Chain A
Amino acid sequence: MKPARFDYHQVRTAAEAVSVLAQSGGEAKVLAGGQSLVPAMNFRLARPEVLVDINRVAELDRLTDEGEILRVGSMVRHAAFERPVDDGPLGRLLSMAARHVGHLPIRIRGTFGGSLAHADPAAEWCVIARLLDAEMVAAGPGGDRRIPASEFFHTVFTTALEPDELLIEARLPKPSPSAKVGFKQFSRRAGDFALTMAAAVVEVRGGEIAEARIALGGVSDRPVRAPGAEEMLRGRPLPPSSSSSSSSYTAFADAAEHASGEVETIGDIHGSARYRRDLIRVLTRRALEQAAAQ
């Protein structure tokens, strides 16, 4: 389990990275945290001829708060989110999710951008990006372009990024300060990729759900939303605060049930497609309950 040979370039700026990528005729790969790429190279499942190491590109390791939008530079490490990066619901949500990204040493190296570019359908950041309708900013030979999350994730390990493009940052729209967030996942062992995860943002106005967003990970070939379930929740009251799972209140359970039916699921050795539907049902409901309990 030793990697195949490659050419190594350590770059200091994003522009330099883009230019090396351009010169490499599609045979180069960006090396970010290396926590997905290097295992794949050790197995020789990935064998890039050129590696462009962006670990020393300071400009990419930056969080910028623009009020409505949090700009996350692609080299910001997972560990940066363990403590909330802002006081609002976004900081909370990112922190809840960050704890589930692998283990501490993985979070110390792995990056936000690397996770998005790698596009594992069970990656927390991919699900959050989809949940919030984030925009990904890519730099290529022809300049920068923005790609909405709904178009960014193509299939397992495949995104809209061209081989010569560098992911610069993700732009995360912030939920309103009063929004409630929930994040639940189920994995076989601590730190493993989840079999399924559900993330929810609930915007509340006048005691009613003004907007709900639900994103699911680990269920199919990319992170997905559950639009039908989201729609069902619009205009519904929140559960009575005493007990969020009180039996007479069924809106969350109904929406979760709907979510489990409306998305495609696929099976693997850890669980069948059918089992993943079970997980969507329970995790969606629990994520909504968690949000409502805030």
Chain B
Amino acid sequence: MTPWVGRPILRFEDPPLLTGEGAFVADLTRGSSFLRFVRSPVPHGRIVSIEAPGGITVFTAADLAGVRPLRPLLHRADYRPVEQPILAGDTVRFVGEPIAMVAAPSPEEAEDHAEQVFVDIEPIDHVTSAADALLPDAPPVHRHVSDNVVVDARFDTGGVDEAFDAAEAVVEFDLRSRRQNAMPLEARGSVASYDRRTGRVTLAASVQSPHVVRTAIADLIGMPESDLRVVVPDVGGAFGQKFCLAVEDAAAVWAARRLRTAVSWVEDRRENLMSSFHSRDHHYRVRGAFGPDGRLLAVDADLLCNVGAYSCYPVTCGVEPLMALAELPGPYDFRNYRVRSRGVVTNTCPMAPYRGVSRPVITLAMERLMDKGAARFGLEPDEVRRRNLIRSFPYRSAAGLVYDEGSYLESLERTVEAVGLADFRERQDAAAARGRCIGVGFSVFSERTGYGTEAFAARSMDITPGYETVDLAMDPSGNVEARLGASPHGQGLETTLAQLIGDELGVDPATVRIVHGDTDRTPYGWGTFASRSLVIAGGAVKLASGLLREKLAGIAAAEMEAAPEDIVIREGRACVSGTDAGIDLSDLARIAYHASHRLEAGMTPGLAARATYDPSGTFSNACHAAVVEVDLETGGVEVKRFVVVEDAGVLINPMIVDGQLHGGVTQGIAQALYEEIVYDEGGNILTTSLLDFLPPTMTEIPEFEIHHLETVSEATITGAKGLGEGGAIGAPAAIINAVSDALRPYGVEVDEMPATPARLRSLLRKHERKYA
């Protein structure tokens, strides 16, 4: 029988979602009280008073006096912790920060009541951009951090100045990534239900890491963790935004306990855009030194990350600047690296990791550097990369990361071939002669995935995630159930894990039940983020399956008087190899549970296994290429082609893999060309609707051309590498490089994303003036 792994089987998750029987958090609010948060209308201010008319249920920081503020920690000398109250106490620090909450019988009335809460705020000077926050007279966002710098990390291999002195060419540029919102189509939300009989609260929440949420909220409120159960219903996309703790969820649990009832909070789109987490508001200064052969000798970078008003829990606001520092070198081989990476607080919505975290921006930085270097030496973009990509493995980067084997060069070659670079140049010239402006851009990158505790520990987080544990059991009727701490939300993990189990235990994946997203029913785990679940939960599933298989084989061997090593398990049966003898797994299960006296001495009754997996991590790699056409007169960009050559090791379900790439690349195109959160001078956020913040539609997204390479990962037991973020990581650089390539004849370099039509026109106007 062909193995289940590797087959594009249809997802088991889909039927309920297709028929409207999915249950998302907002579908569970019946019978609850509805919460609505009163949010700050100003970016920075002192709360003078809060007044509400009688007859409405309203809570403020004063009511939550016993609740601790969030205080995410990194154990690093260059990190300064800041505190975030659940409801603002005396100070508000960004537009949209929760100040009070009302509870009402319907969502409409909750809004009516929230409008009646009057908050008197005395404004304080505010700052919204990282650059401004660093100015000597900038107002401090937190009083104890007078310079607004909460992370200030440095790294230096030495040798950088010497390399620059010896360089044939030095490339230096500023790079700007504008603020994003991960914008899952389902905004955040939760329903907290108080059980008067047991005093427990069940929090149904649209989150990525139920166990972490339980720990966090129990700690904040000061309740026994066992009194809180967190369940995750269907999640309508998350992309990182639902990984860090929402203070609103904590408030909901508090309110459920106070009101001894069920309360719900369903975030609306305006709240989501304004006060859910943002990401990737970065400003870099990058210098690269190239040798005479176009080889990169050194990189010297100053990275500024605007982290917003607070630090996110549990990963902290160090997550963007520290990842940028550690992973900037990407897939390029150079030895001299100096970097300073700062996280700066401002009066804006806090940041959290968003699919790819810093990597879309650092990849853009390195890929711009490569293209600029290529231009200096008159090289094609593929040639400069060919000269600089890492080629022997394991490879230790200038920043000290160890890359396992990948196919960096091969992915580039395959992409160049797919694009037909030489032909493209001819087409480009022909197009130019007809007044049309097309360009091609490449982006090669590595994606560190599936990393466990050791890698996270290197970040010195107070809370160090990493491992995943799986409880696997076969019930007396022979059905397999796996319970895991990972918490997927659209990635099809139920299907892929069932495929793994199917092969290991010889059962039909369709009969396997995967249980996740319930702290009462699953072992402690970290949830789904950082392209980790398939690798880590998948690894744990495979280990646990192995244990269970051993036990089944043991029982079968005893029953059939054969040696355990002669037992093969497949298609629902345990057989003695080379003979006709066999027993159905369901019969073995009966024996394990109901005839345990027949088990060999020392064997426990039942069929259950627990395994934990905590790998060191593995690097996926890919090359992306984009072909774009720029309308010089409007500044509009059309993406004509998008090619991906991806190496994510063994593919468990190729259909799902391609889906992840499609979605990731689309988000990358969105970041490169469309989406941007904008604050005005007054610290107000201007992009609070989907007419202002612009996720692309089908019209803006081309058909994708996807090719796979397979470097089986030695670092994971499934041979798979993660890939949930790769699409989003590589696409922005490919697009921006393509736009720059198109505009090269006009002397325009694009070093900012999104490259909006207005920005491109303003760059082009400078050129027009020059040549007028």
List A residues at the B interface (Cβ < 8 Å): 1-5, 43-44, 186, 188-193, 195, 269-272, 274-275, 278-279, 281-283
Contact = CB atoms under 8 A, between A and B. Distances in A.
B610 to A, nearest CB: 45
B595 interface: no
B766 to A, nearest CB: 12
A2 B633 contact: no
Contacts of A191: 697, 699
Interface in B111-159: 111-112, 115
B107 interface: yes
5 contacts: A2-B111, A4-B111, A189-B694, A192-B691, A283-B634
Contacts of B108: 2-3, 5
Contact of B633 (A1, A269, A281): A281
Contact of B634 (A4, A189, A190, A279): A279
B586 interface: no
B757 A186 contact: yes
A282 B694 contact: no
Q: Which of A5, A186, A281 counts the most B-chain CB atoms under 10 A from its CB?
A: A186
A137 to B, nearest CB: 30
Nearest to B268: A1
A282 B634 contact: yes
8 residue pairs, one from A and one from B, having the closest CB atoms: A190-B699, A282-B633, A271-B758, A1-B268, A2-B108, A275-B758, A186-B634, A190-B697
A280 B762 CA distance: 15
B674 A189 contact: yes
Given A1-B269, A278-B634, A190 B700 contact: yes
A15 to B, nearest CB: 32
A269 B678 contact: yes
A269 B694 contact: no
B761 A278 contact: yes
Nearest to B764: A278
Contact of B758 (A44, A193, A270): A270
Given A2-B111, A192-B691, A274-B765, 6 more contacts: A4-B112, A5-B112, A189-B699, A278-B633, A278-B635, A282-B633
A269 B680 CA distance: 9
Contacts of A272: 758, 762
A281 B700 CA distance: 24
A33 B698 CA distance: 25
A282 B691 CA distance: 24
Nearest to B34: A2
A188 B674 contact: yes
B223 interface: no
B571 interface: no
Contacts of B633: 278, 281-282
B428 interface: no
Nearest to A103: B697
B765 to A, nearest CB: 7
Contacts of A193: 691
Interface string B91-118: 0000000000000000110011001000
A188 B699 contact: no
B636 interface: yes
Contacts of A271: 756-758
B269 A189 contact: no
Contact of A269 (B268, B635, B686): B686
Given A44-B111, A270-B758, A282-B634, A188 B694 contact: yes
B692 interface: yes
A188 B678 contact: no
B270 interface: yes
A240 to B, nearest CB: 18
Nearest to A270: B758
Interface in B631-659: 633-636
B688 to A, nearest CB: 9
A120 to B, nearest CB: 11
Contacts of A270: 692, 756, 758
B695 to A, nearest CB: 8
A1 B691 CA distance: 15
Contacts of B698: 190
Contacts of B699: 189-191
Contacts of A279: 634
Contacts of B635: 275, 278
Contacts of A2: 107-108, 111
B674 A269 contact: no
Interface in B8-40: none
B757 A269 contact: no
A1 B765 CA distance: 41
Interface in B725-772: 756-758, 761-762, 765
Nearest to A192: B691
A198 B674 CA distance: 23
B699 to A, nearest CB: 4
B696 interface: yes
B479 interface: no
B596 interface: no
Contacts of A282: 633-634
B727 to A, nearest CB: 20
Contacts of B634: 186, 278-279, 282-283
Contact of A189 (B268, B689, B697, B758): B697
Contacts of B711: none
Contacts of B115: 44
A279 B765 CA distance: 12
A44 B765 CA distance: 40
B762 A275 contact: yes
Contacts of B757: 186, 188, 195, 271, 275
A42 to B, nearest CB: 9
Contacts of B112: 4-5
A4 B678 CA distance: 28
Interface in B228-287: 268-270
A275 B698 CA distance: 26
Contacts of B636: 186
Contacts of A281: 633
B464 interface: no
Given A1-B268, A279-B634, A282-B634, A192 B700 contact: no
Q: Which of A1, A43, A283 counts the most B-chain CB atoms under 10 A from its CB?
A: A1
A171 B145 CA distance: 65
A271 B761 CA distance: 10
A43 B274 CA distance: 13
B756 A1 contact: no
A278 B674 CA distance: 19
A186 B115 CA distance: 38
B687 interface: yes
A269 B700 contact: no
Contacts of A274: 762, 765
A279 B699 CA distance: 21
Contacts of B761: 275, 278
B423 to A, nearest CB: 27
A29 to B, nearest CB: 18
A193 B691 CA distance: 8
A78 B98 CA distance: 41
A193 B635 CA distance: 17
Contacts of B756: 188, 270-271
Nearest to B698: A190
Contacts of A189: 674, 694, 696-697, 699-700
Nearest to A186: B634
Contacts of B689: 43
A188 B634 CA distance: 10
Given A189-B699, A278-B761, A282-B633, A269 B269 contact: no
A191 B690 CA distance: 12
A207 B633 CA distance: 29
B270 A43 contact: yes
A3 B112 CA distance: 9
A44 B689 CA distance: 13
Contacts of A195: 757
Given A188-B757, A190-B699, A278-B761, A1 B270 contact: yes
